[in-house]
Amino acid sequence: MMYAVSDIHGHWDKYQSLLRRLDLGPEDTLYVLGDVIDRGPEGFRIMADMAKRRNVQGLLGNHEDMARKALPAAVCARKQGRRGLSREDRDAIDLWFYNGGEVSLDNLLSLSPEDAALCWEYMQGLPLYREVEAGGMPYVLVHGGLDNFDPHRPLSDYETEEIVWARPDPTTVYYRDKTVVLGHTPTEYLYMESGMYTGLARFYRADTFLDIDCGCAYNRRLGCLNLDTREEIYL
């Protein structure tokens, strides 16, 4: 089986509950569509665990992208202060911390040196997208969406910002012959825009994309999609 989850945002207990619920076998794969870190307290602990599992594969989210740009300077500033940092480094730290990164820095510094180094290496290799087929259906897995979308444009042609910061709206149309699975935008916002919000955190299914970010970052549910069966799993 193939599964997709997104925007765990440092919630270790929900991540562990999901692993127990799925009980992944050697032929199963869980794709984590970015934003493992920030806002919640144990994002890098989750990332270190993911990096040690062959059947859990991560994608780059905007929070990982911010972290890898800010982390070296942030660690230096934590130890020595910001004096001597470039404006670019200070801006990178401020952007990351504004988006909930300071708690992740604390978490990283609490890990063993080996796990901290593992997280840093793992972040550098996170892909922007995956194309998979499950249950006879083709999927494109991304963090946020596909800005400046063209069905004939190769995925490899998209810039990082066009994928990790993208936010579709209810009228967005992607491919007609495959489904884009994404996170980043809490589904309640799409339900509000479409006038269908009921107060229940659940997936948002559009004609050509499926949003699975149910607001775990804000103490709502963590949602996971079984790509083979389209079953919705909530914690």
Between CA 86 and CA 221 the distance in angstroms is 39
79 pLDDT more than 90: no
Each residue's pLDDT tens digit, 109-139: 999 999 999 999 999 999 999 999 999 999 9
Each residue's pLDDT tens digit, 160-176: 999 999 999 999 999 99
Domain boundaries, the chain: 2-60+127-234, 63-124
Residues in the chain: 235
Each residue's pLDDT tens digit, 168-225: 999 999 999 999 999 999 999 999 999 888 888 899 999 999 999 999 999 999 999 9
**How high is the pLDDT of residue 199?**
81
The answer to whether 44 touches 50, Cβ cutoff 8 Å, is no
The answer to whether 128 touches 142, Cβ cutoff 8 Å, is yes
Tokens of 9: 């945002």
The reported pTM is: 0.97
Q: What pairing do the DSSP bridges indicate for beta strands 137-142 and 204-205?
A: unpaired
**How high is the pLDDT of residue 197?**
82
What CATH superfamily classification does 2-60+127-234 receive? Metallo-dependent phosphatases (3.60.21.10)
> With bands split at pLDDT 50, 70 and 90, how would you rate the model's confidence at 31?
very high
